[in-house]
């Protein structure tokens, strides 16, 4: 079902247009227990590119011994064939990763730097303190901008940490302001282990939008406790117009046990379309890509739209 469909009982508002970045090829694939073949990754990313998505997180430049599932990132970037208007993003953890990424400058348009708002999670994730990470960020941001690349930032555990519990909003937004000062034009806030709730999501994104004028604010929710779509709706109502999701509900944080994947792109797009919110994506093509991923992995994925398909309105509706 394309994004141009007019749905009954939903008012289409030109201001209710959102941007959806697909993160499954990086955030999703890296958390799979098995390594997905390079050719399969390329086929799935190409399918996502044909669905109308304009931004795809394709790979990360991390040590292959740390995340072997993404060790073929350069080959994937070289092999994909997506429309020219699709922005390809890569994630880098530190200056060494940035060195490696810039050696393949022609294969992508966007670079994301990241930090955890939680000290414990940051140390366990990249073996650095938050301050050490942010010191590196200030230098990396300058290098990214000098290459005329889009500089994005991601703050993990923005809504809670599995080790430390609640993370103060002011701490998270303070880190976001540091990213903005270093030149980031987009900042994503990650619910890394699915600890957010809709009431807090609304307060948080309203505050983020107010404190970070001129910065694209992106919501990244996980569905660990079944509140992912409700959180996305709350962020939308607070004024957020940029979202990240993963086809098939792939991905998630490997700690703690029980943390499930990102919200499914097909479920997010289905909800937005039924509300009259334009995403620019062809929902049926996203579902087809998710079903292909399900077949490739040889197990059932957890998105609802894979099973139910898009909503079909009858003439009487």
Q: Among all residues, which ones are annotated catalytic?
A: 253
Phi, psi of 166 (to 5 degrees): -60, 140
268 touches 240 (CB < 8 A): no
């Amino acid at each position: 079902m394309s994004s141009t469909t007019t749905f009954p009982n939903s008012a289409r508002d030109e201001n209710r247009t959102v941007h959806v970045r697909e993160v499954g090829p990086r955030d999703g694939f890296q958390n799979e227990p098995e390594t997905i073949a390079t050719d399969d990754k390329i086929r799935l990313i190409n399918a996502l590119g044909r669905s109308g998505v304009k931004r795809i997180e394709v790979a990360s430049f991390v040590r292959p011994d740390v995340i072997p599932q993404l060790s073929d990132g350069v080959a994937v970037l070289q092999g994909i064939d997506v429309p020219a208007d699709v922005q390809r993003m890569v994630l880098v953890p530190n200056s060494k990763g940035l060195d490696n990424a810039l050696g393949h400058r022609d294969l992508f348009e966007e670079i994301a730097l990241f930090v955890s708002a939680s000290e414990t999670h940051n140390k366990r994730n990249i073996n650095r303190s938050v301050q050490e990470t942010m010191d590196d960020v200030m230098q990396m941001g300058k290098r990214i901008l000098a290459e005329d690349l889009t500089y994005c930032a991601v703050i993990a555990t923005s809504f809670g940490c599995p080790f430390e519990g609640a993370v103060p909003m002011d701490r998270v937004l303070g880190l976001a302001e540091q990213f903005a000062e270093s030149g980031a034009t987009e900042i994503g806030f990650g619910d890394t282990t699915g600890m957010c709730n809709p009431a807090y999501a609304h307060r948080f994104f309203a505050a983020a939008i107010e404190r970070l004028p001129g910065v694209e604010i992106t919501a990244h929710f996980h569905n660990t406790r079944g509140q992912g779509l409700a959180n996305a709706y709350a962020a939308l109502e607070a004024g957020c117009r940029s979202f990240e999701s993963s086809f098939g509900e792939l991905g998630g944080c490997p700690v703690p046990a029980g943390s499930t994947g990102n919200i499914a792109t097909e479920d997010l797009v289905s909800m937005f379309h039924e509300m009259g919110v334009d995403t620019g994506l062809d929902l049926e093509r996203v579902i087809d890509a998710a079903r292909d991923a399900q077949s490739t992995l040889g197990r059932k994925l957890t998105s609802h739209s894979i099973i139910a398909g898009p909503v079909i309105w009858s003439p009487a509706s």
